[in-house]
Amino acid sequence: MLRIVSINLALIPVMTGLLLLAFTFSLDQAVADELGLPGVSAPNGKASIFGGADDEDGIIYGSASYSIPLSHRYGLQIDGLFGHVGRVDDELVQGAAHLFWRDPGVGLIGLYGSVLGVSSDEMYRIGGEGHLYLGQISLEGMLGWDEASVDGSLYVSGTLAYYHTDDLRLFGGVKHSDWQDDNIAGVGTVGFAGFEYQLASSDTGRAYSLFAEARIGENDYAAGWGGLRVYFGPHKSLKRRHREDDPFTVVPDLEMVTQPQPPAPVIIDDVEID
Q: Distance between CA atoms of 64 and 47, rounded to whole angstroms?
A: 4
Whether the model clears a pTM of 0.85, i.e. scores above it, the answer is no
Number of domains observed in the structure of the chain: 1
Q: Does 64 map to a domain?
A: yes
Q: Does 262 map to a domain?
A: no
Which H/E stretch holds residue 6? helix 2-31
Q: Does 267 map to a domain?
A: no
Domain that holds residue 236: 2-257
Nearest to 174 by CA among 195, 160, 153: 160
Q: Which amino acid, one-letter code, is at 174?
A: V
Q: Distance between CA atoms of 112 and 253, rounded to whole angstroms?
A: 18
pLDDT in tens, 188-243: 999 999 999 999 766 677 999 999 999 999 988 999 999 999 999 888 999 999 99
Task: Measure CA of the first residue to CA of the last residue in the chain; give whole Å.
Answer: 35
CATH number at residue 227: 2.40.160.40
Q: Distance between CA atoms of 242 and 85, rounded to whole angstroms?
A: 27
Q: Does 268 map to a domain?
A: no
* Helix-strand-coil split of the chain, %, nearest 5: 15, 60, 30
pLDDT in tens, 82-112: 999 888 888 999 999 999 999 999 999 999 9
Mean pLDDT for all residues in the chain? 85
Q: Distance between CA atoms of 256 and 1, rounded to whole angstroms?
A: 27
